[in-house]
Amino acid sequence: MSKSISDLYKNLEKEKGIHTDFKDNMTYGEYLHLDKILTSQKRLSSHHDEMLFIIIHQVSELWMKLILHELSSAIEAIQEDQLHTAFKMLARVSKTQTQIIQAWDVLSTLTPAEYLQFRDFLGKASGFQSYQYRLIEFALGYKSTPILKIYEKDPAVHEALKAAFQAPSIYDVSIEALARAGFDINPKLINRDYSNVYAGDPSVAKAWQEVYRNVDQYWDLYELAEKLVDIEDWLQQWRFRHMKTVERIIGFKAGTGGSSGVQYLKQVLDHRFFPELWDLRTEL
């Protein structure tokens, strides 16, 4: 036994308070429901690398669950003018996004030859169908009616998506916060039909420019704007890494869910969630 391991055991022996009897107490594994989580990786093929494929996507879905948890609470906080509370949540969203981006680096170790060994087992299942990713897009303001049909198989998921589809995005509530702060915002934007994708408005552009020209006066709104830019920046980096990883593994083949694959992923890179916050960089 090496000296370092021997020292470790000696240190553990000194820790007299460590609990070892859990007959009447909850364990770490029970708290996290590890029995369910760690038995949810069920390969459909016998290929070694399918385990990697499953775990990467499951972990990404867990991170997306956290993003949605923080985004939904941040939207409520902004509606209540509790901007400092929202800042903490939005900062956490950005940090979480970095974890999802790094996951693509792990998945990119899967080679085209390896993926082909189990790709057919996926059938029509595809990450394109991730309802949590759609909920994130909806929360950020990118909404598409045809996409809802994909989720009709699961009524509960479909209803949750429809509710999110009709709810204000984080940019909608930020624009409303500008109005409450005294900026002359187009009244048609307040309590609008949130199922329509926001396309930009001169009154919003003018308000954000005023915020950026008078940072000390509008510090909270300025900070909110920068937090939103952080989130869109990281999301676009996530989209780019997704696109390049797909291209690296399957080239320009169609996706298992029927999308055009890389071509579709390139198209969505052109979409902007918060247009005025990007345009003002040029206009200031």
Q: What is the pLDDT of residues 39-48, one digit of tens each?
A: 999 999 999 9
- Asked if 201 and 172 count as a contact pair (C-beta separation under 8 A), the reply is no
DSSP 1-17: --HHHHHHHHHHHH-TT
Q: pLDDT confidence of 3, banded at 50, 70, 90? A: low
The amino acid sitting at 245 is T
Q: pLDDT confidence of 208, banded at 50, 70, 90? A: very high
DSSP 134-156: HHHHHHHT---GGGGGGGTTSHH
271 is in an annotated binding site: no
**What token pair was written down for 33?**
């429901």
56 is in an annotated binding site: yes
Give the mean model confidence (pLDDT) for residues 15-29: 83
CATH topology for the 48-251+258-282 domain: Methane Monooxygenase Hydroxylase; Chain G, domain 1 (1.20.58)
**What token pair was written down for 74?**
């941040």
Q: What is the DSSP letter of 253?
A: P
**What token pair was written down for 252?**
């320009």
Q: pLDDT confidence of 1, banded at 50, 70, 90? A: low
Question: Percentage of the chain surpassing pLDDT 70?
Answer: 96
Domain boundaries, given as residue ranges, for the chain: 48-251+258-282
* CA pair distance 105, 238, nearest whole angstrom: 11
Please name the residues in contact with 27: beta carbons below 8 A apart, sequence gap of 6 or more.
none
118 is in an annotated binding site: no
64 φ, ψ (degrees, to nearest 5): -65, -35
53 is in an annotated binding site: yes
Give the mean model confidence (pLDDT) for residues 186-204: 95
Give the mean model confidence (pLDDT) for residues 262-280: 90
256 is in an annotated binding site: yes
Q: What is the dihedral of CA 154, 156, 157, 159, to 10 degrees?
A: 120
* CA pair distance 141, 150, nearest whole angstrom: 19
Residue from 170, 137, 165 nearest 149 by CA: 165
CA 245 to chain CA centroid, Å, is: 17
207-224 burial by CB neighbour count: b if 16+ within 10 A, else e?
Answer: bbebbbeeeeebeebbbb
In terms of pLDDT, which residue wins out, 37 or 143? Answer: 37
Residue from 167, 162, 160 nearest 194 by CA: 167
Q: What is the pLDDT of residues 101-145, one digit of tens each?
A: 999 999 999 999 999 999 999 998 888 899 999 999 999 999 888
96 is in an annotated binding site: no
- Asked if 155 and 148 count as a contact pair (C-beta separation under 8 A), the reply is no
75 is in an annotated binding site: no
In Å, the largest CA–CA distance within the chain is 74
